[in-house]
Structure 1
Amino acid sequence: MSDPNSNPLNQPLNVEIAPYQGGDDLLSGFVVSGRWPSSTREWAQFLTLAVRLAAVPGLVPTTTVFRAVEDTPDGPMPGAVGLVTSAGPVLGNGAPAPGEFRRQTPPALLLLHPPSESRPSIPEASEAASGCVLLPGIPHLGLDHRASWVEAERDGTITRLVSKVGVDPAQDPDTAVLAMLLAA
């Protein structure tokens, strides 16, 4: 009998993403299965899904910070490798404090903006949500920060997708906020 989780051809497993909601019907995060995204491109694909969900009315009520953690959810989630979970709103009650993630740097931090808190990049984009993923590097060791930005309309249309290696977090408001959560 073969193990359904085995990979006999040593082909890379797919990255599988499943969103989950908390008891308040808000987007609480994502279960990552198979394997973690391993490139800026794969994290941009992940962010695209997350931003499309942020465009759904009521799922993300305010700009929210999410962080990748290597914990796995309780319950039957075969192949789960970790979570991208809400760390709280970017401002106000429950917001993560500057430097909150400095002790254990997450592999990725995301910022999701609902349509009410996004400014569309093109005039014809309506009800657009947006987001940013920062993949922290260690620049003094030659490992650059990487980031992606996505904007999507309520119908799922992607109106902006940018990925960049060698990011200076101070040059963009979203990456600056995420970098502040990593720095002491």
Structure 2
Amino acid sequence: MTQRIPWDHYFISQSLVLATRSTCQRAMVGAVIVRDKRMIAGGYNGSVSGETHCIDEGCYLQDGHCVRTIHAEMNALLQCAKFGVQTDGAEIYVTHFPCLSCSKSLIQAGIKKINYLNDYRNDAYAIHLLEQSGVAIHQIKLPPHFFEKMSLALESNAVLPSSSPQLFENCENGDCKNCQ
């Protein structure tokens, strides 16, 4: 039996794909809001719709922050608000730990769990607020050679003969048959 990619890896991969749409190169961040193992919204760092992008004219900085950009987490939450999608009890997968402002918005939106890949200015007060509000925080650790295995899946055009090796075999130390 071929082992499938774990849900956490699947959803964090989706956030990484969304990050490639980012229009602010200071931080290319992607976020996916998930409920019951279904993506309900996604977002990436980018300018207000219809406005100039950082990649076109540079960042508009105030106090060292790009104020032109709406953060990925906020864009995902705003997409839910725009289309009437409930966020209470959902979780978010985001490429980077949320800033203080996004953390507060996620709490207010009823997000129950934050799954993130990379540490990024993990604000102590944000962590305090999240923990106090009962929001679970989980850093996802991708296994060694994860992206190499993803590349193999793409090269195979996602059609795997039954004789092919298990692409997503549990690999902890790089000694598995797929890593050699």
TM-score, scaled relative to structure 2 = 0.28
Structure whose alpha-carbon radius of gyration is higher:
2
Q: 1 or 2, which has the higher helix percentage?
A: 2
Q: TM-score, structure 1 length as denominator?
A: 0.28
Q: Which has the higher strand share?
A: 1
